[in-house]
Amino acid sequence: MRTMESLCRACNYAVRASGRFMGITIGAMIEEIQGLYQQQHQPCFLYLSSEVIKEFTTRPDGADDCFLLASRCIHYCPQSFISSAVFPALVDCLMIGITVQYSTERPPVLF
């Protein structure tokens, strides 16, 4: 268990240190985390997942990079990409993304 916690901490550090440059490998990392959690049910995988989500959802440039990568996949290898399992999830994400407007100001807190 300590070994997995140490590996998760190392991965967490890599995500924070690399930021948006980690975008190319983040999908494979998330899939691996999900598979390991389903096998071992260790909380360190949940923590790592939450940190990855926090890192990539609080940065509009991370989302932009994701969509840029997707557009390149569609442009250069459409048959492979559209028939992949990732494509329907990306379309869902795009549908949500078009309703979000990024702002440099903080949104008001509603109670």
Please say whether the dihedral angle defined by the alpha carbons of residues 98, 93, 18 and 68, taken in this order, is positive or negative.
negative
**Tokens 């990306």 belong to which residue?**
90
Domain coordinates in residue numbering, the chain = 41-102
Spatial contact of 16 and 51, defined as CB atoms under 8 Å apart? yes
1 CA to centre of own chain: 25
What is the pTM for the complete model shown? Answer: 0.48
Q: To the nearest whole percent, how much of the chain has pLDDT over 90?
A: 0
Q: What's the mean pLDDT in 3-17? A: 86
Q: Each residue of 16-27: pLDDT tens digit? A: 888 777 777 877
Three-class SS state of 109: coil
- pLDDT tops 60 at residue 51: yes
